[in-house]
């Protein structure tokens, strides 16, 4: 890397001692680039084996990449931690201004350990870390208010990121998230709960430094090439126009969209919540992450009347995308857009992973329908498919649980179903609640084998839709493809670009771009590094007790029709057996 690049500066913060220091870790960045690659190594270094995810010694790690602040779409921050939700690797990516702000503040990674005795937030700028008292922000029912206070108290407008948790994080619901810039999230696997366990309400970070490049002329020329691709290529148009929500219609038509806890894989009642219809009637504004011209963030405005006063309204901006329409829409039987937006809004307020929450709500509904739980378990709430007011109450109750059953739900659907039954329709994979892709066996193998149990680890759903729907592949072939793709995605999340830009940032281009930041690595070498990063992640997972043979698959996936017709127990088992031999 380039000699003076601040990328290799790692900021270590100890919340117990209220101290911070910076260490140069060129060793890590030169070997693993940044982002996921570096964060994995820092996690292996900093996280004591077998530790409770909520112990003060358990670290939170953020890392950005060499391309952050230099090229468009390299705007992701990788967060790593021991997941309180799964007990193994916690990895979550967010955009907004998070990555740009960390890089521009002069750091490549941040490691936070310890636990504060009082609620605090961190203010990081101009080379200083300030520990600010956040007692007054603790316990607010809407997390966005805390963010507003931090916004008004701190400087760096336009150049800062504001991370914060909501009430669910404070109460350590294991799927609580961290929100940045109001609408972006470190969504999956419970980073918000780790913040809560450390009494860390939020972080404000800003800066505007220079990043030196190796060749100014080539830099500008390559920049223009990538910028042109980002703004003109059809592959980016989907994210730019209707957004990911465009997939609702196609997945529903293909019978790949989970409906009512995947009792069905499509619904006739879909029209009003398709991406096209929501855009037509509710889309109010599109916004972008810093240094990304695509602007894929879609905000709808929800106008609601107050019952007690005529001509008195509130208008709430609500961010939506494919995953939210699935998890808080079709998965719980909501197909009316205003109801959907209301449910999304409360989920944002309490600060939880929307996918996990939707799957949990769906499982609760089925449990209640089957009389496996009572109204008392739900703190007096009756629930049925599509009942938005009931779901809003449940979201609040799970974030601040009063009954044993709701407390169990705050640990996720795997944990709760082990106590209360209903495992066969508890839609979790590796203890993480499913995303909205009932596309075929590759999707499910992808969720099970992906290092962080995300549909974005390896794009298994894409193998289903592009290949398995037309041709036969053996389980072994599918696993090989998944692992190969995962190695490539480790590179993308290490440099660290948005996966939406994977059609632009092919390894050849990555090699050219990082060369301008002083990394001399060809495509083959990058592929090798990707494989190594993937192995390192598995090293952490195995160390913390993850075993492929322990994975449990809900029966429901074998019962509900899918587009390939190939989701069988044999296929999944053969795939897992094959992967076990490769990985173990």
Q: Is 295 in the site for another protein (CB under 8 A)?
A: yes
Give the relative orientation of helices 523-543 and 507-515 as an angle to the nearest 10 degrees: 100
Tell me the closest approach of the beta carbon of residue 2 to another protein, in angstroms.
10
Q: Which is nearer to another protein, 72 or 575 (CB)?
A: 72
Task: Give the separation between CA 93 and CA 72, rounded to whole angstroms.
Answer: 17
Stretch that binds another protein, among 26-34, 45-53, 96-104, 266-274 (CB under 8 A): 96-104
Task: Give the separation between CA 423 and CA 370, rounded to whole angstroms.
Answer: 13
Quick check: 31 and 50 in contact, CB under 8 A?
A: no
Q: Is 291 in the site for another protein (CB under 8 A)?
A: yes
Stretch that binds another protein, among 47-55, 289-297, 389-397, 444-452 (CB under 8 A): 289-297
Task: Give the separation between CA 43 and CA 197, rounded to whole angstroms.
Answer: 18
Provide the 10 A C-beta neighbour count for residue 312: 9
Tell me the closest approach of the beta carbon of residue 141 to another protein, in angstroms.
18
Contacts with 228 (C-beta within 8 Å, 6 or more apart), sequence order = none
Sole binder of another protein in the list 19, 23, 285, 569 (CB under 8 A): 285
Site string for another protein, 115-154 (x = CB under 8 A): -----------x---------------------x--x---
Closest CA to 198 of 116, 79, 132: 116
Q: The tokens 């990538």 sit on which residue?
A: 226
Q: Which is nearer to another protein, 251 or 292 (CB)?
A: 292
Closest CA to 33 of 146, 109, 133, 116: 109
Stretch that binds another protein, among 98-106, 393-401, 461-469, 565-573 (CB under 8 A): 98-106
Rg (CA), the chain: 22
Sole binder of another protein in the list 37, 59, 72, 84 (CB under 8 A): 72
Q: The tokens 């289903």 sit on which residue?
A: 464
Tell me the closest approach of the beta carbon of residue 26 to another protein, in angstroms.
19
Tell me the closest approach of the beta carbon of residue 221 to another protein, in angstroms.
12
Sole binder of another protein in the list 17, 216, 569, 573 (CB under 8 A): 216
Q: Is 332 in the site for another protein (CB under 8 A)?
A: no
- DSSP symbols for 105-165: TT-SEEEEES--SS-EEEEEETTEEEEEE-GGGTT-S-HHHHHHHHHHH---TTTEEEEE-
Of 310-329, binders to another protein (CB under 8 A) are 317
Q: Is 69 in the site for another protein (CB under 8 A)?
A: yes
Stretch that binds another protein, among 34-42, 285-293, 463-471, 485-493 (CB under 8 A): 285-293
Alpha-carbon distance values, 415 to 271, 408, 572 (Å): 35, 7, 22
Task: Give the separation between CA 312 and CA 433, rounded to whole angstroms.
Answer: 39
Under DSSP, the state recorded for 460 is: H
HSE at residue 316, side-chain half, CA atoms within 13 A, is: 23
What is the side-by-side order of every strand in the sheet holding 160-164? 128-133, 120-125, 200-206, 160-164, 178-180, 184-186
Stretch that binds another protein, among 243-251, 294-302, 334-342, 463-471 (CB under 8 A): 294-302
Q: Which is nearer to another protein, 138 or 227 (CB)?
A: 227
Count of chain residues binding another protein (CB under 8 A): 42
Element spanning 284, H or E: strand 283-287
Stretch that binds another protein, among 214-222, 272-280, 336-344, 468-476 (CB under 8 A): 214-222
Task: Give the separation between CA 172 and CA 176, rounded to whole angstroms.
Answer: 7
Q: Max alpha carbon distance in the chain (Å)? A: 69
Of 485-504, binders to another protein (CB under 8 A) are none
Alpha-carbon distance values, 439 to 251, 266, 343, 405 (Å): 8, 12, 25, 32
Q: Which is nearer to another protein, 214 or 264 (CB)?
A: 214
Q: 468: which 2 tokens? A: 């398995």
Tell me the closest approach of the beta carbon of residue 211 to another protein, in angstroms.
4
Q: 332: which 2 tokens? A: 């719980």
Quick check: 355 and 434 in contact, CB under 8 A?
A: yes
Tell me the closest approach of the beta carbon of residue 225 to another protein, in angstroms.
13
Q: Is 231 in the site for another protein (CB under 8 A)?
A: yes
Q: Is 213 in the site for another protein (CB under 8 A)?
A: yes
Q: Is 223 in the site for another protein (CB under 8 A)?
A: yes
Under DSSP, the state recorded for 264 is: B
Sole binder of another protein in the list 44, 264, 299, 469 (CB under 8 A): 299
Tell me the closest approach of the beta carbon of residue 481 to another protein, in angstroms.
34
Site string for another protein, 190-209 (x = CB under 8 A): ------------------xx
Q: Which is nearer to another protein, 96 or 390 (CB)?
A: 96
Q: Which is nearer to another protein, 210 or 471 (CB)?
A: 210
Q: Which is nearer to another protein, 296 or 533 (CB)?
A: 296
Of 520-549, binders to another protein (CB under 8 A) are none
Tell me the closest approach of the beta carbon of residue 337 to another protein, in angstroms.
18
Q: Which is nearer to another protein, 291 or 489 (CB)?
A: 291
Q: Which is nearer to another protein, 11 or 213 (CB)?
A: 213
Provide the 10 A C-beta neighbour count for residue 44: 15
Provide the binding-site residues for another protein, judged by CB under 8 A: 69-72, 100, 103-104, 126, 148, 151, 157-159, 181-183, 208-213, 216-217, 219-220, 223, 227, 231, 285-295, 299, 317
């Amino acid at each position: 890397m380039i000699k003076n690049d601040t990328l290799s500066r790692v900021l270590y913060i100890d919340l117990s001692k209220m101290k911070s220091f910076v260490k140069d870790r060129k060793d890590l960045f030169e070997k693993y680039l940044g982002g996921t690659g570096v964060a994995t190594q820092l996690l292996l270094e900093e996280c004591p084996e077998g530790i409770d995810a909520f112990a003060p010694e358990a670290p939170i790690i953020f890392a950005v990449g060499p391309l952050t602040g230099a090229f468009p779409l390299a705007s992701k921050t990788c967060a790593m931690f021991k997941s309180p939700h799964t007990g193994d690797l916690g990895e979550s990516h967010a955009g907004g201004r998070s990555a740009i702000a960390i890089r521009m503040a002069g750091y490549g990674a941040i490691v936070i350990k310890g636990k504060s005795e009082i609620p605090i937030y961190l203010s990081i700028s101009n080379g200083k870390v300030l520990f600010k008292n956040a007692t007054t922000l603790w316990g607010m029912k809407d997390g966005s208010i805390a963010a507003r206070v931090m916004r008004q108290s701190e400087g760096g407008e336009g150049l800062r990121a504001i991370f914060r948790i909501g009430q669910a994080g404070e109460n350590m619901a294991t799927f609580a998230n961290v929100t940045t810039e109001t609408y972006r999230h470190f969504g999956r696997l419970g980073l918000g709960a780790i913040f809560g366990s450390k009494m860390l309400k939020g972080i404000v970070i800003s800066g505007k430094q220079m990043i030196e490049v190796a060749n100014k002329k080539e830099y500008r020329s390559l920049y223009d090439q990538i910028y042109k691709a980002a703004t003109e290529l059809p592959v980016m148009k989907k994210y730019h126009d209707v957004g990911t929500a465009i997939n609702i219609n196609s997945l529903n038509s293909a019978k790949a969209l989970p409906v009512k806890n995947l009792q069905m894989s499509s619904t006739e009642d879909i029209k009003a919540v398709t991406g096209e219809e929501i855009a037509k009637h509710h889309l109010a504004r599109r916004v972008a992450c810093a240094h990304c011209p695509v602007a894929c963030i879609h905000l709808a405005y929800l106008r609601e009347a107050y019952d007690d006063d005529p001509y008195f309204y509130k208008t709430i901006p609500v961010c939506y995308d494919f995953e939210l329409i699935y998890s808080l829409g079709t998965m719980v039987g909501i197909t009316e857009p205003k109801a959907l937006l209301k449910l999304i809004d409360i989920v944002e307020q309490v600060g939880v992973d929307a996918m996990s929450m939707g799957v949990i709500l769906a499982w609760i509904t089925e449990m209640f329908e089957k009389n496996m739980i009572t109204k008392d378990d739900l703190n007096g709430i009756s629930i049925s498919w599509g009942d938005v007011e009931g779901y809003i109450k449940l979201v609040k109750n799970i974030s601040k649980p009063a009954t044993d059953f709701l407390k169990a739900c705050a640990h996720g659907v795997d944990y709760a179903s082990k106590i209360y039954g209903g495992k066969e329709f508890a839609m979790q994979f590796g203890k993480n609640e499913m995303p909205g892709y009932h596309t075929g066996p590759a999707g499910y193998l992808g969720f099970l084998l992906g290092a962080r149990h995300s549909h974005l680890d390896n794009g298994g759903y894409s193998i289903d839709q592009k290949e398995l729907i037309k041709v036969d592949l053996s389980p072994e072939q599918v696993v090989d493809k998944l692992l190969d793709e995962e190695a490539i995605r480790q590179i993308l999340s290490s440099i660290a670009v948005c996966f939406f830009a994977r059609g632009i940032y092919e390894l050849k281009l990555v090699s050219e771009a990082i060369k301008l930041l002083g990394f001399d690595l060809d495509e083959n070498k990058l592929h090798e590094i990707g494989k190594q990063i993937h192995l390192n992640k598995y090293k952490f997972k195995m160390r913390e007790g993850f075993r492929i043979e322990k994975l449990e698959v809900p029966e429901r996936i074998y019962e509900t029709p899918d587009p390939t017709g190939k989701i069988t127990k044999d296929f999944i088992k053969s795939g897992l057996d094959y992967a076990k031999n490769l990985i173990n």
